[in-house]
Structure 1
Amino acid sequence: MLHIDLICVGKVKEKYIKAGMAEYLKRLSSYAKISVHEVSDEATKEEMTDLEVEQVLNLEADRIEKKLNKQSKVIVLAIEGELTSSEELAESINQFATYGHSHISFIIGGSLGLAERLKKVSDRSISFGRITLPHQLMRLVLIEQIYRSFRIINGHAYHK
């Protein structure tokens, strides 16, 4: 069975987002083993120098790297990543699984994004659009899209 890790900076606080995530995680359980790993975010302030931003991103990246499975294919979510459709995400997941990769890690950064070093070592950098979404909401969107991907891969009906 495919193992999927979601490694996310920060905690989900909103009950409605937790409820939505729980529903899709339950639905996903028949397709893959999925785990959500939260790493703590660094405090930020309104005005930050480039050096301060880089320091925050590197501290968060250190925490993310501790959660990464070394054999995992890594997909990062980044606003500047490759725009992807549900079908293209399904194809990526299916290709990784078809070619013997039993572990996929998705990474969602914090409010400042992700350190460049994580983007450079990723196998794919994707974006669901050029809009900025709250990181908590992005988790729910990603989990729903992973569920949709498995429905597509398995030829099951799912509303468009």
Structure 2
Amino acid sequence: MNIRVIAVGKIKEKYLTQAIQEYTKRLSAYCRLELIEVKDEKIPENASEAQRQKAVDSEGRRVLSHLKDDEILATLEIQGDQLDSPTFARKIENYGIQGKSQITFVIGGSIGLSPEITSRSQWKCSFSKMTFPHQLFRVMLLEQIYRSFKIIRGETYHK
């Protein structure tokens, strides 16, 4: 299976980079993983709605340039379906059983995802109603994908 993660913005913290490297290494036994970062827009704290929309649209165009027609597009959205880890794993497994070998997860920037991206999504997923730092969320997503492959293969890790 091929897993891609497209994320808006760069990782700035060394400890997060190290965690991402660790999960990338672990996942190499289970899938082909590709991590893609697209530039985020800098917007002022007191940005107008028009400025915010322009930024989301610009980030959205950058994400869209990396999307493929033959993939499952999974967007990470607060309004998405909240799944426990075994159900998340079954969803990944079921896509594989259906012959869908490419899943692309998209993590938006600090102001969210453009409607162009969310309207194309076949899987809207939420980890929580809480808001998480976008940089930390990459680690959380990779950990859940790794956990999923361990569950799918019946290996010990999931508790």
Q: Do these two structures clear the TM 0.5 threshold for a shared fold by scoring above it? A: yes
Could you say what the CA RMSD is over the residues aligned between the two structures, in angstroms?
A: 0.9
SS in 2 for 1:155: coil
The TM-score normalised by the length of structure 2 is 0.97
Give matches, 1:126-141, under 5 Å. 126-141=125-140
Q: Distance in 2 between matches of 1:69 and 1:154?
A: 28
C-alpha displacement of 1:31: 0.5
Please tell me whether the aligned partners of residues 147 and 158 of structure 2 are also in contact (alpha carbons under 8 angstroms). Answer: no
Aligned residues, how many?
A: 159
Aligned to 2:156: 157
* Runs of 4 or more consecutive aligned structure 1 residues displaced over 6 Å after TM superposition: none
Aligned to 1:102: 101
Q: Distance in 2 between matches of 1:114 and 1:32?
A: 26
C-alpha displacement of 1:159: 3.9
Give matches, 1:51-70, under 5 Å. 51-70=50-69
The TM-score normalised by the length of structure 1 is 0.96
Aligned to 1:84: 83
Q: Residue deviations 1:54-104, cap 9 Å, x none?
A: 111110010001111221101000112111111121111111111011110
C-alpha displacement of 1:35: 0.7
Query: Which consecutive unaligned segments of at least 5 residues does structure 2 have?
Result: none
Aligned to 2:9: 10
What is the aligned-residue identity percentage?
Answer: 40
